[in-house]
């Protein structure tokens, strides 16, 4: 329980600060006055007036915000010079400020994935090299070793992990024992072994895992960009499925995310970083959706202004975003309640 809470706070802290610093830094770069940078929502627990703006920590660690001048959120006594308002900036500058939070979240994903590929590595499925042996399975009992390269399964030559797996499964269905031709250094060996399923009804295994390769920076960066793109498409597909068939999609709120964060932390620091990358990507993608109160909703209003040449009144836009916020808040409450019910 304690590990889940600490892991959840760690992930939310990193994701929120990275996101809000995107808005904060680009706002300063564009000459927009920043009134406050806050981690958390609700009542203020701590605040300090800095040289440029106020810094604060609030009671509920489920988000954060950067309060910009000219967005209808001025407090009494806050000064504003001509040209410092967000609304006075060009549409392009406003788009940059609004999109920077989600961009930072996605950039964090690329950085984390690159670090993981360089330090932890990735399964190499382009070869049939044994990376690890599963205890209690036929491969370990037959004398197969880490680093062995499987060249033939029965009379079938194999070049990569997929071909080897397919050959093992097809031959296991027809015979009790498999004959593997293995290259170990400069020697070629023949080993005979059976197969074993982890559970009834599952595919037969000999009990080996692929080799892990740590990638150099250039390959790790390419791999992380490709992974981030594929995951983004998968998340968008999941959002589409949630809208079309909501009953089929299991959505987790803060309680569910905290439980998964605890599980990731229990598996090790690298697993926690992987989970952080997934949550950061989710935050970035969701914030770009064109829904009121989200960054994507604000971006939509700016795009409409650019196309039509007409500004919507701040009062009306504020009301629309407030309605969107209340809808999102209600959804969070519902999902959180469902998470709590799953605990019992």
The domains located in the chain, with CATH, are: 2-121+217-342 (no CATH), 123-213 (2.30.42.10)
**Residues in the chain with pLDDT values less than 50:** none
**274, two tokens:** 């992987």
Residues 6+ apart with CB under 8 A from 238: 249
Virtual torsion, Cα 317, 319, 324, 326, nearest 10 deg: 160
Q: What is the pLDDT of residue 279?
A: 94
Q: What is the pLDDT of residue 44?
A: 93
Q: What is the pLDDT of residue 72?
A: 66
Dihedral sign (CA 252, 256, 257, 261):
negative
Rounded-to-integer distance, Cα 217 and Cα 115, Å: 9
The CB-side HSE value for 158 (13 A sphere, CA atoms) comes to 26
Rounded-to-integer distance, Cα 244 and Cα 236, Å: 12
pLDDT, tens digit (0-9, with 9 covering 90-100), for 119-171: 988 888 889 999 999 998 999 999 999 999 999 998 889 999 999 999 998 88
- Closest alpha carbon to 75 in 128, 24, 36: 36
Structural contact between residues 161 and 237, judged by C-beta atoms closer than 8 angstroms: no
**261, two tokens:** 């964060």
Residue 186 per-residue DSSP state: T
Exposure string over 193-231, b if 16+ CB within 10 A, otherwise e = bbbbeeeeeeebbbbbebbeeebeeeebbebbeebbeeb
Residues with active-site annotation: 20
**3, two tokens:** 């590990």
Tokens 């030559």 locate to 157
Structural contact between residues 19 and 286, judged by C-beta atoms closer than 8 angstroms: no
Q: What is the pLDDT of residue 248?
A: 63
**76, two tokens:** 């009494």
Q: What is the pLDDT of residue 78?
A: 73
Rounded-to-integer distance, Cα 152 and Cα 183, Å: 10
Q: What is the pLDDT of residue 241?
A: 83
Coil vs helix vs strand at 77: coil
Q: What is the pLDDT of residue 217?
A: 94
């Amino acid at each position: 329980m304690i590990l889940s809470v600490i892991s959840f706070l760690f992930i939310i802290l990193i994701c929120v600060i990275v996101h809000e610093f995107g808005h904060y830094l680009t706002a300063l770069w564009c000459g927009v006055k920043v009134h406050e940078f806050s981690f958390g929502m609700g009542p203020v627990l701590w605040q300090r007036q800095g040289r440029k703006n106020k810094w604060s920590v609030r009671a509920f660690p489920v988000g954060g915000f950067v309060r910009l001048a000219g967005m209808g959120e001025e407090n009494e006594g806050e000064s504003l010079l001509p040209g410092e308002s967000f609304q006075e900036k060009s549409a392009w500058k406003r788009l940059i400020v609004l999109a920077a939070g989600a961009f930072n979240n996605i950039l964090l994903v690329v950085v984390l994935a690159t670090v993981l590929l360089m330090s932890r590595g990735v399964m190499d499925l382009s070869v049939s090299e044994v990376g690890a042996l599963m205890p209690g399975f036929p491969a370990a009992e037959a004398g197969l070793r880490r680093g062995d390269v499987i060249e033939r399964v029965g009379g079938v030559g194999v070049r990569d992990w997929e071909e080897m797996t397919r050959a093992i499964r097809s031959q296991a269905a027809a015979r009790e024992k498999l004959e593997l031709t293995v290259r170990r250094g400069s020697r070629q060996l023949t080993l005979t072994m059976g197969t074993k399923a982890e559970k009834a009804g599952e595919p037969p295994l000999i009990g080996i895992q692929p080799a892990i390769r740590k990638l150099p920076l250039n390959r790790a960066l390419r791999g992380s960009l490709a992974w981030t793109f594929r995951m983004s498409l998968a998340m968008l597909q999941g959002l589409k499925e949630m809208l079309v068939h909501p009953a089929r999609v299991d959505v987790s709120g803060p309680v569910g995310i905290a439980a998964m964060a605890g599980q990731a932390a229990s598996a090790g620091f690298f697993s926690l970083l992987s989970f952080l990358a997934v949550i950061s990507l989710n935050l970035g993608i969701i914030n770009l959706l064109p829904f009121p109160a989200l960054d994507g909703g604000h971006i939509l209003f700016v795009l409409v202004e650019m196309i039509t040449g007409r500004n919507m009144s701040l009062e009306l836009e504020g009301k629309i975003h407030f309605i969107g916020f209340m809808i999102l808040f209600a959804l969070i409450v519902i999902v959180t309640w469902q998470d709590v019910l799953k605990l019992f």
